[in-house]
Amino acid sequence: MGIVSIEDDLHDQVRRASRVSFRSINAQAAYWLKIGMLCELNPTLSFAEIIEREFSSAGVSAPSLAPIDA
């Protein structure tokens, strides 16, 4: 484990996002790092597809939502 130096503005964004997502500041930063890495390593997949694969690999499943008729 180590220390990562980030700009103050980015740290503020991580802190704000952590409140919304109910994560610690460190957990929010780690989440963004992992998702960013997965996005770079899988440029043809959408964010939703990456998240779906991560949930699936963790054994989490939920029924798909039906489209809303407008």
Q: What is the pTM of this model?
A: 0.76
- The alpha carbon of 9 is separated from its chain's Cα centroid by a whole number of angstroms, namely 19
**35-56 pLDDT, tens per residue?**
999 999 999 999 999 999 999 9
Residues belonging to the chain: 70
One DSSP character per residue, 26-41 reads HHHHHHHHHHHHHHHH
Mean pLDDT of 18-39: 95
Domain ranges of the chain: 10-57
3-class SS of residue 44:
coil
